[in-house]
Amino acid sequence: MHCRMRITCLVVALGSPATHAQAQSYSSWWPGDQPAASMALMLRRGIQTTADHYPLVGYTFFGSDSATLVFEDSSMTTAALSARTWMFGPSVTKAEADGCPPEKVLGRKIARVLFRELGRPTSLKQVSVVVRGAVGLARWSYEHMYYYPDQLSGRWAGDSILCRSD
């Protein structure tokens, strides 16, 4: 029986439909994860407005040089990840993408809101946006997207008209 359990675990690990699948929930392996409700209201409101229907579930600030925002997406399923049809946010134009893979554009918009709301700190070296599945096996899957200062500042076609200009 012990051998069967090992084989089963091996099959699950190797048979994972996404390269980012994990065997633990985000909050249990990411140290310092803070619940979204503990974020300053105006900051949380700006981020959530940009994220639209994707709920902000947590965040972490690592000193003054990096931040992580965590969202859930019910459309992130093992089938969508396996078929490479999963997309965080709506379809985008080539100008909006501006070199980003299409699934990273909404994350970039969100990261830019955080950057602006924090007063464009020069010490901020990266903002990461993590999107995790919401149901079933997808709860253990996630996509971790990184954004650096050159992607956070300046004008960008992906910013909506309602955003403050940089």
Over residues 1-5, the mean pLDDT reads 38
% residues pLDDT > 90 (the chain): 37
Q: Where are the beta strands (DSSP E) in the chain?
A: 34-35, 56-62, 66-73, 126-133, 142-147
Mean pLDDT value across the chain: 76
| Of residues 103, 117, 112, 87, the one with CA closest to residue 145 | 103
Question: Tens of pLDDT along 21-32?
Answer: 333 344 444 544
Task: List C-alpha distances in Å: 17 to 28, 82, 137.
Answer: 21, 5, 10
Over residues 47-55, the mean pLDDT reads 95
Tokens of 143: 């996509």
**pLDDT score of 156 more than 50:** yes
**pLDDT score of 13 more than 70:** no
Please state which of the ranges 48-62, 104-118, 127-141 shows the lowest mean pLDDT. 127-141
